[in-house]
Each structure stands twice: as C-alpha cells, then as structure tokens.
Amino acid sequence: MIPLSWYLIFAAALFSIGLFGVLARKNAVAILMGVELMLNAVNINLVAFWRYQRPDIIAGQVFAVMVFAVAAAEVAVGLALIISIYRRRNTIVADNIDMLKL
Amino acid sequence: MTPLQILFILVAGVTLGAAFMVVTTRNMVHAALWLILGLFGIAVFFVLLDAGFLAVAQVIIYIGAISILMIFAIMLTRRIAQDVGSQISSGWGWAAGVSLLVFSGLAWMLSRWEGFHNQMPALDPGADPLIDLGKALVSPAGYVIPFEIASVLLVAALIGAIMVAWDKI
Amino acid sequence: MGDPVVLIANWLDGLLVGWGLADGWVTLIKTILGGVGISIFVLVIDIFLVWLERKFVARFQDRLGPNRLGPFGLIQPIADVIKLLIKENITPAGADKYIYNLAPIIALATVISLWAVIPLSPTMFGTDVNVGVLYIVAIGGISTLGILMAGWSSNNKYALLGAFRTVAQLVSYEIPMVISLLVPVILAKSMGINTIVSEQSIWFIFLAPVAALIFLISSHAELGRAPFDLAEAESEIVAGFHIEYTGMKFGMFYAGELLHALTVGALFSSFFLGGWQGPGAEAFPILGIVYFFIKAFAMYWVVAWLKYSLPRIRIDQMLNFNWKFLTPLSLVVLLLTATLDRLLINTSTWIYAGSMFFTNILLLIVLFQIMKRSGRRERKRVAEPKPIARPDGVRSVPTP
C-alpha cells in the first residue's frame, strides 16, 4: 500500500514550494498564500504521523485542528493589515513598504 | 500498482502542480484559484488518511472562507497596471536555492529515520476518530484549554481585523 | 424484490469479477458508475423541475402556465433546453476565458454533489460519511466560490457588484444555517445523515420547530430566491453575476438554482420530516424513495410559495435580519437544545419530545413579546416629526 515516506516527501515538497513563494514574491497577498501552503504541508505531516504511528492517541488530529484555527486567525488579521496598508501607501509590493515613515 | 497508489500519485501531482502555479503565476486572481485547487487536493489527502472530519473542516475553513477572503483582498487592492511586470522579485535565484536546500535536507533527514517506510496500521474496527476527537476537545482531561484559548484567539482576530481595516472617513 | 439498486450492484459484481478484475478495480468501477447514476437521475429530475416551477408560478399568479406543448405542457422543458442549446455563445471581450467557462460548471457540479450524501431510502444512498452535515456545509461554501468566479470573470461592473453582494449574502446566511443544522445533530447524536433519518421516531420538526424555521429561512436566503433575491433582481442590478452568460451556460446557472431549491427541500425533509420514513419503508426500500420524494416536493412547494408571495427586501435589511436576529436566535436555540438534552438524558421518548416542544413554544412566545416591544418602540421613533431645513438656515420642527 502507501508507505509513510510518500506522505512525508509530499509534505516536504509542498513546504518548500510555499517557502519559495514567501521568499520570492513581491505582492503581499502572494506571500500570505505561500504561508498558507506551508501550514497545509505541516497539517498533512501531523495527520500522516497520527495515522501511521499512533492512531489511538487523538492528539495528532487535535493539533491539526489548532493549526486550522491559528491559520484562519492569521489570514484574517494579515489581510486586514494589507488592506489598511494599501489605503495609506497605495501599494502592496512588499519591497516598497520598507520605511516606517513615508 | 494498486488503484489507491495511482490515486495518491495523481492527487499529489495535481496538488504540487497547483502549488507551483500559485507561486509563479502573474495574475493574482489566478493564483488564488490555483490555491483553491491545491487546498482541495489536501482535503482529498485527509480523506485518504481516515481523517474525514479534518477533510470537510479543511474545505469549509480554507476554501469556503479563507480563499474568498483572499480573493476579496486581491480585488480590493488592485491597481490598474499591477498585473503587468514580473511578480517574482529579483532575488528569486537565492529563494529557489534555499527551498531546494530545505527540501533535500528534510528528505535526507527523514530517510535516516527508521520508521520511514512504515505501512499504514489497521484502525481498530470499533474506534471512531470522530467521537474521540469530539471528546478530546471538550474533556478537562483532554484538550479543552487549548480549545478555549483558540476560540479566544479567533475572537481577538475578529475584533482586531475589524479595527485595523476600519475606514475612518 | 423491493431493492433494485442492490440487485444491479450484485449483478455487476458478478460480471466484473467473472471478467477477472482485481477487487480494488471492481470497487472503483462500481463507485464511478454509482456516481454517474446519481448525477443522471438528479439531472433528469431537474428537467421535470423546470416544468413544475413554471406551473407553480402560473398557479400562484392565477393563470395556467405552459399548456401548449404536449399534455399539460410537459414537453415545454425540452423546448426550453433546445432553445438554450441553439443560442449563440458570446464571450465578452476582456473576459478571463478559463474562469468564465469554469464558473457555470462549478455552480451545477456543487449542487449535484450534494446528492451524494442524501439517503433516498434505507439502502439507496450515495455514501454514508459520518460527517454528512459538515459535507453539506462545505459544498455550500464551494458554490459561493462559483458565483464569485462568474462575477469577476465577466469583465462587467454590474456583474462584479452583483457577485460581491451575492457572496456577502451567502456567506452571512451560512452561519444560522450551520448552527440550526447542529440541532438535529444533537437530537440524533450523530453527524451522519443516514443516522439522523433513522433516529427520527418522532419527526424532528416537532422536537425543534424553531430550528426548522431558521433552517428554512436561511436556506431560502442561500438559494438567492425572493424575498432575498436582491442579487439577481432585474430592476436593481440587471441580472447580477450572470449578466454576461448566454445560451447553455446560463442554462446551467438556472438549472443549478432550480436543483438547489429541490435539494433544500430534500435536506429539510431528511433533517426535520423523517426523510424516507413511512409505513413499510424498511421492508420495501422502493417505498422509501416514494415517501422521500413526496416530502421533498412538498417542501419545494413551500419554497416556491415563499418566493412567489413575498416582495424583495433591501440588502441592509437582509444583513440586519441575519446578524441581529437569526444568528443570536439560532445560538439561543442551540444552547437550549443542548442543555435540555443533557438534563433529560435518560428519560423516555415522550417526556423528551414533550419538553423539547414546549421549550421551543416558550422561546417563540418570549421572542414575539420582544419583537412586539421593539416594534412599538420603532413605530414611535418613526412617527416623530422630523426636523426640516429651511432656506434661511434655521432648522425647526414643523407644527403637527
């Protein structure tokens, strides 16, 4: 059937792609999308370890639920910040938002 | 190759392809839609891992709420000429190098772990992860405190997001 | 004898294993054929719904409806489909081609995929996931996305504005719908729809009438039908998010909307009216389908009744109604149901049912008192003479 290694390699690949998105994109919303990919890779890892190692201890799924909640909260606040920045500076290119004062 | 393995490879290919398109496409709304496809692939993986509740929770939270939020944010922060020109910053070579390094490091480190090639153990036929999850989240001997703190966090994020984006005009 | 689906499944099993296929492949083929079968069944009913809708609206408006093509106008939907198929497919200039073509597919596909978890009879259902209720909420969330895609890709200000409003309405009304759906989950002690249907020895509409009412209202708003149809009202925003769609693409939006109305009827009947239950349904599953569809079409008639009798409400009234009335009410109902369920944990069914019912009636009485008082206050506030501005800049109150 499907060994654990397949899930772990897949999650590592997804994490690296998300990391590339965070490091290499200009648009602030695109950086947030990279962060979302990384969080999802972590979730897959958690649930794969839960299923393959100790399916009787539910802590793996509980941890994944907490990651869902934290990711939702972070995206909400992050996007509110981005919209607020866009109103003041009229740009959301991350390279241009580098001075505290205009 | 059992059908399950073919299904896994197919869904993994679609998800990784969608993730790659998210980080390279120029049009932001297209990036959001590729992200939705990738998140859907992750939900399919949760189903394969016998975590049905997490799969539907993933669809509800990520695709039903977070992606729509991102699409709204993209539409509200667009300037006319913003989709033209490269969306990848100039240091992308270093970024690609770092992510390849991270991937190979993770893969090498995991392959040296002795449980790397474990097969899926059979679930206890009487066990129901859904009921266990429900009990764990609200029992004092379980995880009720992190659960309550997570709800306080969500309330704080809700109020914070409203205050930050409030238009005082 | 009374179960054709199991007979066909067994015959197929024998056939495929006789051809020498491995077990996994046989399951895969049966799964795919089952999915295709349900989709075809549901889409054929959709065509019948076009005729039914037009007959309903005609009778509500005191006229006859289509009666020229075929007996009682039954061939009319086929004529409608042929008309839609031969229309020209215009793609607006500057539209995002891929998203533009994907949106109607998503709109129809999400509605069809809702039928995968609804049990039509004790043995005929798509699949029995133990999180069926959440699956329904999830698919509802994806359909919201289809509308957003349609509005954005049309390269049209009115489409985009209509899509934003529709998405705001849909996302808002999801919340009381989900919370009111938790009440049957508490009463049946499971999230699987099969379990909820089979646990209804007393129909849940008698145990939780307020929750049923909230579910009906919020699903009606989720459908985007009058009185909540601001998003596609012709006098307000031309046609909303599907302005730029012609021919069969519009046909898919329209068919999806009608099918969604029937699906809401089917869901209401499964959660609150006992689904496929009726005399003799366990012995002969065929009877289960008959009872199910009688109840589903009865609820569809109620939905059509609401649509064709009530005027449209404004968007601020709609959102106020949701956030200031439905959501707190559904939370209160959930709290009361959960508390009562815990207190009455070992009593007999009749005491349980009776106390649930009376608590709900009590809640309705308290609610009406609150609404009466707040209505009186509002009427007094509106009847006050308002100050008007005079040309010389002096604001004064006109003499009554």
Give the mean pLDDT of C343-370: 89
d(CA C147, CA C160): 10
Q: Where do the structural domains in chain C lie, given as residue ranges?
A: 87-378
Identify the burial level of A20 via C-beta atoms within 10 angstroms of its C-beta, where 0-12 means exposed, 13-18 middle and 19 or more buried.
buried
- Token pair for B111: 């392959």
Give the mean pLDDT of C46-62: 90
Q: Which of B2, B33, B60 sits opposite C138 (nearest CB)?
A: B60
Identify the burial level of A32 via C-beta atoms within 10 angstroms of its C-beta, where 0-12 means exposed, 13-18 middle and 19 or more buried.
buried
Q: Which of A8, A37, A90 sits opposite B19 (nearest CB)?
A: A37
pLDDT at C325: 92
d(CA C51, CA A75): 46
C347 or C334, greater pLDDT: C334
Residue B84 above 70 pLDDT? no
State whether C138 and B56 contact (CB < 8 Å).
yes
- Banded pLDDT at B153 (limits 50, 70, 90): very high
Give A96 to chain B, closest Cα distance, Å: 12
Mean pLDDT of chain B: 87
Residue B137 above 80 pLDDT? yes
C163 or C112, greater pLDDT: C112
Q: Give domain status of residue A41, yes or no.
A: yes
CATH of the domain at A77: 1.10.287.3510
Distant-in-sequence, close-in-space partners of C102: CB < 8 Å, separation ≥ 6? C149
- Exposure string of C341-372, with b = 16+ CB inside 10 Å and e = fewer, is beeeeeeeeeebbbebbebbeebeeeeeeeee
Residue C309 above 80 pLDDT? yes
d(CA B63, CA B52): 16
What are the pLDDT digits (tens) for A19-77?
999 999 888 899 999 999 999 999 999 999 999 988 888 888 999 999 999 999 999 99
Task: List the domain range (segments joined by +) for residue A55.
Answer: 4-96
Residue C53 above 70 pLDDT? yes
pLDDT at A54: 84
The second-level CATH assignment, the architecture, of B1-81 is Up-down Bundle (1.20)
B146 or B85, greater pLDDT: B146
pLDDT at C31: 85
pLDDT at C284: 80
Which residues between 89 and 148 in chain B have a beta carbon less than 8 angstroms from any beta carbon of chain A?
A: 89, 91-92, 94-96, 98-100, 102-103, 106-107, 110-111, 115-121, 123-124, 127, 129, 132-133, 136-137, 142-143, 146
pLDDT at C93: 82
Distant-in-sequence, close-in-space partners of B143: CB < 8 Å, separation ≥ 6? A59, A62, B136, B137
- Token pair for C94: 């500057």
pLDDT at C151: 84
Residue B169 above 60 pLDDT? no
Query: Quick check: ipTM above 0.95?
Result: no
pLDDT at C16: 80
- Banded pLDDT at B75 (limits 50, 70, 90): confident
pLDDT at B86: 61
State whether B161 and A77 contact (CB < 8 Å).
yes
Q: Where do the structural domains in chain B lie, given as residue ranges?
A: 1-81, 129-169
pLDDT at C281: 76
- Banded pLDDT at C157 (limits 50, 70, 90): confident
Give the mean pLDDT of B37-62: 93
Q: Which residues of B touch A7 (CB under 8 A)?
A: 45, 49
- Banded pLDDT at B29 (limits 50, 70, 90): confident
- Touch test A–C: 3 Cβ pairs or more under 8 Å: no
**Residue in this structure with the two tokens 């993209």, named with its chain if needed:** B74
Identify the burial level of B52 via C-beta atoms within 10 angstroms of its C-beta, where 0-12 means exposed, 13-18 middle and 19 or more buried.
buried
> Where are the alpha helices (H) located in B25-66, listed in sequence order?
28-48, 52-58
B137 touches A65 (CB < 8 A): yes
What are the pLDDT digits (tens) for C223-270?
888 788 877 765 565 667 777 888 888 888 889 989 999 999 999 999
Q: Which amino acid is at C82?
A: I
Report for B93-102, B116-125, C281-290: range of highest mean pLDDT: B93-102
Identify the burial level of C18 via C-beta atoms within 10 angstroms of its C-beta, where 0-12 means exposed, 13-18 middle and 19 or more buried.
exposed
- Banded pLDDT at A85 (limits 50, 70, 90): confident
C2 touches C284 (CB < 8 A): yes
Q: Which of A10, A21, A80 sits opposite B12 (nearest CB)?
A: A10
Q: Which of C96, C140, C148 sits opposite B71 (nearest CB)?
A: C148
d(CA C144, CA C293): 27
Q: Give domain status of residue A101, yes or no.
A: no
Contacts of C331-336 with CB under 8 Å at 24 or more apart are: C331/C179, C332/C363, C333/C179, C333/C180, C333/C183, C333/C208, C333/C210, C333/C211, C333/C214, C333/C360, C333/C363, C334/C179, C334/C180, C334/C182, C334/C183, C334/C186, C334/C211, C336/C360, C336/C363
pLDDT at C40: 93
pLDDT at B130: 87
Give B70 to chain A, closest Cα distance, Å: 7
C115 or C22, greater pLDDT: C115
State whether B99 and A52 contact (CB < 8 Å).
no
pLDDT at B46: 94
Across B78-87, C81-90, C172-181, least confident range: B78-87
B62 or C15, greater pLDDT: B62
d(CA C377, CA C361): 24
pLDDT at B85: 55
pLDDT at C237: 58
| pLDDT cut 90: percent of chain C above it | 35
Residue B45 above 80 pLDDT? yes
B22 touches A18 (CB < 8 A): no
pLDDT at B91: 78
Q: Give domain status of residue A50, yes or no.
A: yes
Give the mean pLDDT of C350-378: 90
What are the pLDDT digits (tens) for C79-99?
988 999 999 888 888 778 888
- Banded pLDDT at C394 (limits 50, 70, 90): low
